[in-house]
Each structure stands twice: as C-alpha cells, then as structure tokens.
Structure 1
Amino acid sequence: MPTNELIETEPTAETAIVPAEEIKDCENCHQPLAGNFCANCGQEADSKLKYFWVVIMHLLDDIFSFDSRASRTVWPLVTRPAFITNEYFSGRRVHYVPPLRLYLFISIVFFITLKFFVGADDNNGFNINDKKTLITQVKGHIEVLTTEQKTLPKIPSKSMEELAQVTRLNTDIAKFNTYLADLNRDYSSGQNKQIIKLTRELLELEFDHTEEAFSPKDQVRFDKLTARRLKVLNGGIVSEELNIGNNEDGTLSFDFLSDESNKKLNNFTEELAEKGEKAFNSDTGPLIEQVIGKLPQLMFILLPLFAVLLKVMFIFSKRLYMEHLTVALHSHSFIFITVLLSEILELLDDYLAPTSPSIANFFGVFAGGLLLWIPIYLFLMQKRVYKQGYFFTLVKFSIIGTIYSLMIAVTAIIAMIWGIMDT
C-alpha cells in the first residue's frame, strides 16, 4: 500500500539553497537575481565594468568565439566546399562561427598580414635570395674578367687589338665593381631603392648579352637606364610622366559631360598625375600602405554587390538575398585564408631555400597547390549550394568570374586613386 512517508534526497545543483548572503540584487531594479538575467527588467547580471584585459578577451570572443566552434569552422571552410554554407542553411548553426563574424576576423588578419608581406617585399626590393644570387653572379663575372686580364701579355709593346682588349677589360671590371657596390647599398633609402632597381635592370641586360652585342633596341634601353642611374647618383630625381588623358593634348574629356564638368575632371586628373609621379618615383611604401588600408572598406562594399550578382545568376534557385550574402561571406573568407596560407608557405620556401632546398621545394609546391585549389573550390561550392548540373554551373561560374574580376579591377583602381590622393 502507498504510504505518505517523506523520502529524503540529497540536494542537487538545481535544488540547493543559495545562502542569503550570496543572493545578489539587480543593479537596475534592485530585485533579487536568480540567474544570469533579471527576471523583472531583463538586465544582464554580469557587470560590464571589468579589468581591461578581461574586456579585450570578451571582445575577441565576441569577434571570433575562441572555442570549439573555431576548429569546427576553419578546417571544413578550407577543405570541404559548401559544407559550412549548407550546414548554416539547414539550421545547424550553433556549432559554427557565424558568417559575418568569420569574415570580419579573417579579413582583419588577412589585410594586416598583407601589409606585412607587401611591405617586406618593398623594403627588400627583391627576394633576398635573388639578391645574394645576383651579387654572387656579379662577383663571379668580375673574377672571370680579372683572370682574362691576367692572361694578357705583360710586354710593353702591345698590338692595337691587345690594347683595345685591355681597355675593354679595365672598363668592364670597373663597371661591374660599381654595380656590385650599388647592390650592397642600404635599401631603406628612397634614392638607393631607385639605384638598386636600375642596377638590377642593367645587369639583366648585361648578362643576357655576355657573348653577343646589344641589339639596337636593347642598346637604346641600356643607354636610357644608364642615364637615369647617373642622374640618381648625382642627386637627381628620375620621374616618368604620368598621363591621364584621351585627347592629343593630354587632357581628359567626355562628350556627355558639360564643359564645366570636364574642366573639374581635368583639374582632378592633373592633381592625381602630379601626386602619382611623386609616389611612384620615390619611396612607394606609404602609397602601398594607403592602398592596402583602403581595400577592407572597399571589399565591404563589394561583398553585397557580389551577393547581388549571385542573386541575378541564380534567380530561379529560390534562395533569399541573405543566403547569397552568406555564400559571398564564406567564399571570401575561404579565399583570404587560403591566400594567407600560401603566402606563409612561400615565405618558408624563401627562408629554407639556401639550407634545405628539398623542404623548401615542398612548401613552394604546396603553396602553388593552394592557389590552384581556389577556383576548383569556388566551382564546387556553387555546384553544391545551388544544386545545378556541371555544365550550367560551369557556364554561370565563368560568367560570374569574368564579371567579378572586372569588379575587382575597378575596386583596385579606386583603391589606387584613393591611396594616391591621400599620400
């Protein structure tokens, strides 16, 4: 028979009585709190006034959620086309980083590191291993010329042919020693950058014609490079005129614009050309930083335009615009992280080439493979998201790629013009 006896149980986490001194009141309405939020006014119980490092960690967590979701998102994002996107569309979102948050974090990292990689290339002028190779090549050539010089007869009476050969060898030895001194200049100086660049171009011509004379075309180019190099060595500034015009007099005008508008346009292009000449013919570092700094803002405008392009091309897919935008966010996140990984591998390739060429070659091949993976991945992504046949997907993929390449080119031009005007 049932009894009315009371059964004593151990208190659980849910039933345990919270001591009165540990019960907190809501800072807003002063009602007792029984959870993470106030049951009366809804304010969060956790105070936002914390130590600075705690706030930073919370901010990073808000941006990227540094938990298991990151590992569950990044790996499939790179290796499994459309998997994360289709999971998101199917409603299984809690296990993955949201598309916008993912894009923001990856794009921030990408553009910061892009500034580093491009800046490193600009500061080094050209690959340091290439520079060492070129210096070694010049030294070797000087040794060959010196050895040839020593084999000449030492007797005072030389024929005219021998005298001409001695003069040529002395001139070449002096010239290549000057080239060597130029290559060893400090590249941090804007003037030295120009000298090293011109010297490298001269050496390329010299080594291409070690056994034969210059062609008339190459001789003209050699003379121009030599004259420009001498001008820089003497403290001059070498500049190439930048013309932005569609008329014979160098002005820019369009028939659909009024005379006043064309005048304003020409004033702008003249200012742009003047600043462009200064930027391109001196230290290009500040210009590169300006251009890269503009790209994140322009890309944020380009993303929704790309989603519109997807909407038009797949108009019968019955996908909402936000779904196309999700495809755009995931596509760009994949591209950024893949290009970033490829850049890192190429850096390792350059670093390990002198000491471990086989390992360096592996990294180089892997970096190239990652870049090749980008178009394949994007094609498979469109195929799996929009679920069309290979032929129609290929046709639309080609059209989208062509149009978007033009959009990227326009974006790059805008970033360049914007960067020049801000330098």
Structure 2
Amino acid sequence: MTSTELVKPKEKSLPAEVKKECENCGASLSGQFCAECGQEITSNIRYFGTVILHLLDDIFSFDSRASRTLLPLVLKPGFLTQKYFAGKRVHYVPPLRLYLFISIIFFLSLKLFTDIPAPKLPISASTEIQQSINDTINELNLEPTSSKNEEVKQRLNEYVTDIQQKSSPLLQSNSVKLAQLELKKLTKPDEFSSDDEIDYKSYQQSIADYKKDLKAGKKSSSYIRVSNQEDGTLRFDFLSAEMNKKLNEQVDILKEKAETAITSDPSKLIEEAIGKMPQLMFILLPIFALLLKIFYLFSKRLYMEHLTVALHSHSFIFFIILLIEMLNELEGVVIESFPTAADMLNTLMVGLLIWIPVYLFLMQKRVYKQGMLMTVIKFNIIAISYLMMIIFTGLAALVWGLTSI
C-alpha cells in the first residue's frame, strides 16, 4: 500500500504541458513540436504587435552573423556565394535576407540624401529678361527703320509674350533661354559661339513644334515628343484604332505631368521614382539571374545558384553606394573646417566607385571559374546588357512615378 501511495502523487505532479495534445492531429505532445505532424505548439494567433516584431526579426535578425557577413561582402569577391554553394550557411546571413535588409536601407537613404532643389520658375526671372528685351527694342527704335530691325523686334516681342505664358512652364523656360541667346547675339556678337548657335536653333525648333501642336488642336500642352509617326502620335498595328486613341490620350497626360514636374518641382518626381525602384529591382533580379544562366549555360549551375550570385552582387552594389552617400554627406560637413579630411574622403569615394566593377569582375571569375579571356568577354557583355536593363528600369520608374503625381 505504501508503494502504491507513493506512485500516485508522482503521476499527479507531472507538468500539465506533457499531457497536452496537438491541436492539428491530436497526438500527445512532449516538446515544442508535434512528433507526428510537426506542428509547433505555439499558436500563430497572437497580438498584432507581436506578429510585427517577429516579422521584423525574421528580416532584420542580424546577430553575430552580421560581422561575419558584411566584411566578406565588401572585401572578398565571391566569398559568400562560394560558401553558400558549399553548404556553409549557418554562419552567414542568407542571401535573400541580406538583400532585403541592405536594399531597404539603401532606398530609404536615397530619399533622405537625394536633395534636388526646385528650380526657380522662369516667371521669377522674367522681369529682368523682359526689361532687357524692352531696352533692346528701345535702342532698335532709335536706329533707322529696316526690315532686319523689324524682324528682330518682332521676335523679341514674341519672346515677351511666350515668357508670360503661365500655363506652360516649359515654354516659359525655353523662351527665357532663347531670349538670352538672342540678346547675346545682338549685344555681344563676338561672344556668340557655335555652341550658342546650336542651342539657339534647338530652342527655336522646340518652341515652333510646341506652337504647331497647339494650333493643330492637340490636348497636350507639352512638346516632349513621344511618337513613332510623322504626325507626332503613337500608333501600333497590333492595336485597334480605339486602343491607339486611348494610348495617345494617356501619353498626352503623362507628357503634361512630365513638363510640369520637370520645370516646377522635379524633386517630387524623383522621390516617386525612387519609391518605385525597390519593386522594379526585385523584378530585375531574376531577369539578371536568367542572363547569367544564359551566359553560363554549360557551367552546370542551377538557376537558384545564379540567383544567389545576383542577390550577393546587388547587395554589394547597394552597400557600397550607401557608403559613398554617407561619405559624401560627411564631406559636406567637414569640407570647410577640415579640407584635408575632405580630400581624403573624396579619394575614398573614388576608390569605392572603382572597386565596384573590379569586385564584380573578380566575383564572376571566382564563382564561375572560367579563364581570364572568357571572363573578360562575358563580363563586358553582361555589364553592357545590365546597364541597358538599369536604364530601362529607371525609365519605367519615372513613368510609374508620373502616374502617382
């Protein structure tokens, strides 16, 4: 009886969690995970704040692995990629998490460091220009009347009219520049260079095209030209007439927005475009990996391995540009008090810029292990192709940004 009495208290003293059952399959639990189905004991239904903290921890959990990852990322081309391929992944930040962390910081910093002051509206400078034009006209009135003088006065009066057109900042801007060149041509002909002549004709043509479009009754007040037809419109044979019409209406709207943004406050457009870049870069990454796959088709590398190369190379590029931005800001702070330190910072920034292509070349050489000549050829072709993709991505970001302003 005594032994039986001793057993019962032991059974009753077992921890309650040992007797818990899995909410998924009903099996008895003896640890943090179910031995039958693998489901975790902890419920996923938690306070919203806890969920957010866990999500941020998954993305930004840079423990001691950070110090083992960032230095090789900057100083050892291809090191992290080779370690990842070799299966040594516990000691380093995973490629995708590394890219997400650095790219988020990079694009946030771009918005902070990119400071594009809004240009002065032409109207703010128009008083001085108009006064100069009026003075020139008065001087011409004192001279004997001639057909040449009359033509000049007519042009100058047209400039005044165009400068006063508040509805088109771009027309104002180009009219101011054209008027300045006209005055220089009249008052200082010896200083009127061949480049000035080229600019003069260019501004004349742009304003003439703009007025021609207005006379033709086009809705767009912009003379930024986006067309593949002689009449200045876009038309594609694979689209119906109705679709082509809608396309041109949308293009006209975007051209008007572009004119206003460029001439009034380009910083807003740049900010919107930067805001679109993370999504577009995330689309560009697998395309770049596909480009690597094509050029190294016989390397027996899987597509995911090429994608790892793309993630590490972009993480490196973003991190270096981020460093350059920070050094540039620091240079602006110390340039007056410590000019020598500013020169050193400037030299360091130039060195970092040169290091980018050198690093990427060495990374490609070490990861794919091809000969020097083939690596040089492929690297240059890939670099040119990638630059074209970046330009296209930047244009896409600008167009997407225009739709948001």
TM-score normalised by length of structure 1: 0.66
Which residue is equivalent to 1:358?
Answer: 340
The answer to whether the aligner puts 1:379 opposite 2:379 as a matched pair is no
One-letter amino acid of the structure 1 residue matched with residue 273 of structure 2: V
Question: Are 2:29 and 2:35, in contact at CA under 8 Å, matched by a contact in 1?
Answer: yes
Q: CA deviation at 1:102?
A: 1.1
Deviations 1:338-376 (A, max 9, x none): 110111111111111011111111111111111111100
Which residue is equivalent to 1:8?
Answer: none
Which residue is equivalent to 1:68?
Answer: 64
CA distance in 2, matches of 1:357, 1:285: 30
Match of 1:315 among 297, 319, 325: 297
Distance 1:217 1:102, change over 3 A: closer
Q: CA deviation at 1:61?
A: 2.4
Distance 1:46 1:105, change over 3 A: same
One-letter amino acid of the structure 2 residue matched with residue 373 of structure 1: W
Question: Are 1:26 and 1:38, in contact at CA under 8 Å, matched by a contact in 2?
Answer: no
One-letter amino acid of the structure 1 residue matched with residue 33 of structure 2: F
Structure 1 portions without partners, runs of 5+: 1-18, 127-190, 225-238
Which structure 2 residues correspond to residues 38-53 of structure 1 after superposition, within 5 A?
Answer: 38-39=34-35, 41-48=37-44
Question: Are 1:77 and 1:334, in contact at CA under 8 Å, matched by a contact in 2?
Answer: yes
Which structure 2 residues correspond to residues 337-352 of structure 1 after superposition, within 5 A?
Answer: 337-352=319-334
Which residue is equivalent to 1:20?
Answer: 14
CA distance in 1, matches of 2:92, 2:228: 52
Match of 1:325 among 284, 293, 307: 307
Question: Are 2:18 and 2:29, in contact at CA under 8 Å, matched by a contact in 1?
Answer: yes
Which residue is equivalent to 1:122?
Answer: 116
Which residue is equivalent to 2:31?
Answer: 35
Which structure 2 residues correspond to residues 78-227 of structure 1 after superposition, within 5 A?
Answer: 78-118=74-114, 121-123=115-117, 215=193, 218=196
Question: Are 2:22 and 2:41, in contact at CA under 8 Å, matched by a contact in 1?
Answer: no
Which residue is equivalent to 1:242?
Answer: 224
Deviations 1:50-69 (A, max 9, x none): 67665544323211322111
CA distance in 2, matches of 1:289, 1:370: 25
Distance 1:255 1:37, change over 3 A: closer
CA distance in 2, matches of 1:25, 1:360: 68
Question: Are 2:78 and 2:364, in contact at CA under 8 Å, matched by a contact in 1?
Answer: yes
Deviations 1:88-145 (A, max 9, x none): 0011111111111111111111111111111xx224879xxxxxxxxxxxxxxxxxxx
Question: Are 1:26 and 1:45, in contact at CA under 8 Å, matched by a contact in 2?
Answer: no
Which residue is equivalent to 2:127?
Answer: none
Distance 1:257 1:60, change over 3 A: closer
Question: Are 2:293 and 2:303, in contact at CA under 8 Å, matched by a contact in 1?
Answer: yes
Which residue is equivalent to 1:418?
Answer: 400
CA distance in 1, matches of 2:401, 2:334: 35
Secondary structure of 1:388's match?
A: coil
Which residue is equivalent to 2:150?
Answer: none
Question: Are 2:119 and 2:263, in contact at CA under 8 Å, matched by a contact in 1?
Answer: no
Q: CA deviation at 1:46?
A: 3.9
Distance 1:55 1:258, change over 3 A: closer
Which residue is equivalent to 1:303?
Answer: 285
Q: CA deviation at 1:322?
A: 0.6
Count of matched residue pairs: 316
Question: Are 2:222 and 2:255, in contact at CA under 8 Å, matched by a contact in 1?
Answer: no
Q: CA deviation at 1:332?
A: 0.6
Kindly, what percent of the aligned residue pairs are identical? 55
Question: Are 2:119 and 2:265, in contact at CA under 8 Å, matched by a contact in 1?
Answer: no
What is the RMSD of the two structures over their aligned residues, measured on CA atoms? 3.6
Distance 1:323 1:404, change over 3 A: same
Deviations 1:190-238 (A, max 9, x none): x9xx99xx99xx9xxx9xxx9x95658659979x9xxxxxxxxxxxxxx
Which residue is equivalent to 1:401?
Answer: 383
Question: Are 1:64 and 1:97, in contact at CA under 8 Å, matched by a contact in 2?
Answer: no
Question: Are 1:306 and 1:328, in contact at CA under 8 Å, matched by a contact in 2?
Answer: yes
Task: Name whichever of 373-382 and 243-252 sits farther off.
Answer: 243-252
Q: CA deviation at 1:265?
A: 2.9
CA distance in 1, matches of 2:199, 2:38: 76
Secondary structure of 1:281's match?
A: helix
One-letter amino acid of the structure 2 residue matched with residue 317 of structure 1: S
Distance 1:333 1:217, change over 3 A: closer
Q: CA deviation at 1:24?
A: 5.7
CA distance in 1, matches of 2:334, 2:105: 24
CA distance in 1, matches of 2:336, 2:222: 37
Question: Are 2:22 and 2:29, in contact at CA under 8 Å, matched by a contact in 1?
Answer: no
TM-score normalised by length of structure 2: 0.68
CA distance in 1, matches of 2:48, 2:234: 54
Deviations 1:356-406 (A, max 9, x none): 111111111111111111100111111001000111000000110111111
CA distance in 2, matches of 1:81, 1:48: 40
CA distance in 1, matches of 2:341, 2:119: 25
Q: CA deviation at 1:28?
A: 4.4
Deviations 1:401-423 (A, max 9, x none): 11111111111111111111221
Deviations 1:157-214 (A, max 9, x none): xxxxxxxxxxxxxxxxxxxxxxxxxxxxxxxxxx9xx99xx99xx9xxx9xxx9x956
Question: Are 1:25 and 1:31, in contact at CA under 8 Å, matched by a contact in 2?
Answer: no
One-letter amino acid of the structure 2 residue matched with residue 85 of structure 1: T
